[in-house]
A = this chain, B = another copy of it.
Amino acid sequence: MAPASEWVTIAPDDLLVMDLAPDRENRARRVVIQLMPPPFSQPWIANIRTLARAHWWDGLAIVRAQDNYVVQWGDPDAEDAAKAKALPLLIPTDESEYVSPAGVAIGRDGQSRHVNFSAYTEAFDDFVSGWPLSAGHDETVWPVHCYGTVGVGRSLSPDAGSGAELYAVIGHAPRHLDRNIAVVGRVIEGIEHLSTLPRGTEALGFYKSPEERTPITSIVLGSEIADFHVYQYLSTEGETFARYAEARANRRDPFFIVPAGGADVCNIPVPVRRAQAG
């Protein structure tokens, strides 16, 4: 068990709470997302907070579910200028916004504890401040796509997307999206409400008819919900996380015959918990 000092509380403004319409048994479906800390993707995250405070997503829908890839939500009419829902803010979409996804220098002297060399990116995967990152030889780092990662849907480059259309990864880590898309967060609770959605039958898993889409009841910031749970993640700089990561790489419980000797950064999910009451 980790000492209390190794659990880091997530600020309520860093929580995005999505309530889908209840399922067929009338059970609630809530998905909780943690937004990324600076210096990553902050222009989009500012937009996302603005959209949540405006309740902009309320009444919109899950528009896409592609097996072993992503579930995506936003305005089903976004591509139709006559019907698209107006955004509550001016959206920067010029290419300069790509500074963040392309990797940023964060001054990591002495913090390095590489998990492994990643063949996908020819860089080192690592954890910094609670997040899986990849670190290039040029001292830049960038967030990586794992199961549960939330990113900003967009059209062809240089469109960067506004943050109004978001997706969550529900399959094997699509690491080819790293540095190509703004990663803005990760699902920390309720991902099964996304991963079990019926897959869309149109190209890329988009739903064919409006009836197939799951309505979004509301998306708000955690700070807007009275007495909301307090979420904490395990510090990735502490001793407990180091032991946990090592144990994931070399499984020693009686089930295993051959320990792997290593682990993919996406097979070392950062532990997140609801804090105990008082």
Task: Give the B-binding residues of A (Cβ under 8 A).
Answer: 24, 67-68, 98, 101-102, 115-122, 146-148, 156-157, 171-176, 178-180, 191-192, 195-199, 248, 251, 254-264, 266-267
Contacts and interface: CB of A to CB of B under 8 A. Distances in A.
B257 A157 contact: yes
A120 B157 contact: no
Given A102-B258, A118-B262, A180-B255, 17 more contacts: A101-B257, A116-B119, A116-B120, A119-B264, A120-B260, A120-B263, A121-B262, A156-B255, A157-B257, A171-B171, A172-B264, A173-B267, A175-B264, A176-B251, A176-B260, A179-B258, A195-B195
Nearest to A119: B116
| 6 nearest A-B residue pairs (beta carbon) | A116-B119, A179-B258, A119-B262, A147-B172, A192-B199, A156-B254
18 contacts: A67-B192, A102-B258, A118-B262, A119-B119, A120-B261, A120-B263, A156-B255, A157-B256, A172-B172, A172-B173, A172-B264, A174-B267, A175-B267, A179-B258, A192-B198, A192-B199, A195-B195, A195-B196
Nearest to A134: B260
A260 B178 contact: yes
B120 A264 contact: yes
A266 B199 contact: no
A258 B120 CA distance: 12
Given A119-B262, A261-B121, A176 B68 contact: no
Contacts of A157: 254-257
A24 B172 CA distance: 28
Contacts of A119: 115-119, 262-264
A197 B195 CA distance: 9
A251 B176 CA distance: 8
A28 to B, nearest CB: 15
Contact of A179 (B146, B248, B257): B257
A101 B258 CA distance: 10
Contacts of A254: 156-157
Given A102-B258, A258-B179, A199 B196 contact: yes
